[in-house]
Amino acid sequence: MMRLALIGDPVEHSASPTLHRGFLDEAGIDGEYVAIRVARGDGARAIRRLRADGFTGCNITYPLKEEAFEVSEVRSDEARRTQAVNTIFFGREILGTTTDGAGARTAIEALLDEPVALKRIGVLGYGATARAVLAALQENDAYAFVWGRDAERVSETCRRFEAKPWPDSNPPEIVVSTLPPDVGLPAELAAQLERVDVVIDANYGSRCMLAKQLSREVIPGDAMLEAQARASFDFWLAHLDRVAND
C-alpha cells in the first residue's frame, strides 16, 4: 500500500488529496493520501513520525519547506538550489526534492503554448516557492525579475538566480505571484500589474485573492498545483521502482 501525506498550515483548503487520490486510481495502486495540519517549527518531528509510521512519502507546503530541507538526509539538485523541499520519499534515507519550479514552468508554457526561454517573467516574493520558480526560469533561459519589500533579500535572490530587481518602468510581460493571499500590494506595483499581459497567482480556490486588488483577470494557481503534484507522484513512483529493483 502506498501511504502519502501533505503537511503544512493551513491544509484544509488543499486540492492535493483529490489530485493524488486520482493519480493512485489512474495507476491502479492501492493507497491513501491524507492532509495533516502541522504548525511552523514542528515540520522535522512530523516528517520523522510519518517515516516511523510507514508512509511512502509526503508533500510539504507553507510554512514547512525550509524545515523539510533541513531534515532531508539526501537532497536533489533542485532542493539544494532553492534550499527548500516540497516532496519527500522515505527510503533508506529521507530523500527531499522540490517540484514547485517544474510545476510553474509547465503551467506557464501550457498557458503560452511556447517555451519560457527569452520571456520576461516577474516573480513576486522570495520565499521557497518563489526560489523554485526562479531556479526553473534560470535553467530554461528566461529573463527573470524579482519584487519584494526587503531590498536586501531581493538583491540576494537576484544574485542566486541571475535575476534582476523589479524595474521602475517596462514591467515584465508575465508575472507570477507567490505572495500570501491577504498581502496588500503597493499602489505603484498594482498599477504596473494592470498593464502586463498575464498575471498568475500561485494561490488557488478561495485563497486566490489577488484579483480583488487588481481590475483585471488573474489566473489562479490550479495548473501550477496539478503540474507539481504530477511531478511529485512521478518522483515517488520512480523511487519505488528503484527500491523494488535493488
pLDDT (tens digit per residue) in 117-150: 999 999 999 999 999 999 999 999 999 999 999 9
- When divided into structural domains, the chain yields a total of 2
Name the pLDDT band for 243 (thresholds 50, 70, 90).
confident
DSSP 8-state secondary structure symbol assigned to residue 146: E
Domain assignment present for 245: no
> What percent of the chain is predicted at pLDDT more than 70?
100
* pLDDT of 111: 96
As a whole number of angstroms, the distance between CA 2 and CA 5 comes to 10
pLDDT at residue 190 greater than cutoff 80: yes
In this structure, are 33 and 87 located in the same domain? yes
Average of pLDDT values for 7-16? 97
As a whole number of angstroms, the distance between CA 115 and CA 92 comes to 37
As a whole number of angstroms, the distance between CA 94 and CA 24 comes to 22
Q: CATH number for the domain including 142?
A: 3.40.50.720
* pLDDT of 244: 72
As a whole number of angstroms, the distance between CA 6 and CA 188 comes to 37
Q: CATH number for the domain including 17?
A: 3.40.50.10860
pLDDT digits (tens, 9 = 90+) for 87-114: 999 999 999 999 999 999 999 999 999 9
In this structure, are 123 and 195 located in the same domain? yes
Average of pLDDT values for 198-209? 95
In this structure, are 42 and 59 located in the same domain? yes
Domain assignment present for 240: no
* pLDDT of 215: 84
* pLDDT of 245: 74
Among candidate residues 98, 115, 140, the one where a domain is terminated: 98
Mean pLDDT, the chain, whole residue set: 96
pLDDT digits (tens, 9 = 90+) for 23-70: 999 999 999 999 999 999 999 999 999 999 999 999 999 999 999 999
In this structure, are 105 and 210 located in the same domain? yes
Domain assignment present for 135: yes
Bridge partners for 4 per DSSP: 33, 57
Active site residues: 65
Alpha carbon separation from 58 to 33, 87, 162 (Å, rounded): 9, 6, 31
* pLDDT of 129: 98
* pLDDT of 241: 86
DSSP 8-state secondary structure symbol assigned to residue 214: S
pTM over 0.75: yes
**Strand 57-60 versus strand 87-90 pairing type:** antiparallel
Q: Is 110 exposed, middle or buried (0-12, 13-18, 19+ CB in 10 A)?
A: exposed
Alpha carbon separation from 24 to 8, 17, 58, 103, 237 (Å, rounded): 22, 10, 14, 19, 10
In this structure, are 23 and 134 located in the same domain? no
Domain assignment present for 121: yes
Domain assignment present for 235: no
In this structure, are 20 and 74 located in the same domain? yes
In this structure, are 207 and 136 located in the same domain? yes
**Is the CA virtual torsion 186, 64, 161, 239 positive or negative?**
negative
Domain assignment present for 234: no
Compute the C-alpha angle 98/83/51, nearest 5°: 60
CA 44 to chain centre: 19
Average of pLDDT values for 159-178? 97
What would the grid cell of residue 213 be?
A: 486588488
In this structure, are 45 and 107 located in the same domain? no
Which structural domain range is residue 27 located in?
2-98
In this structure, are 25 and 92 located in the same domain? yes
Domain assignment present for 242: no
In this structure, are 71 and 118 located in the same domain? no
Residue 162 backbone zone (phi > 0: left; psi -120 to 50: alpha; other: beta): left
In this structure, are 105 and 215 located in the same domain? yes
In this structure, are 211 and 124 located in the same domain? yes
Domain assignment present for 233: no
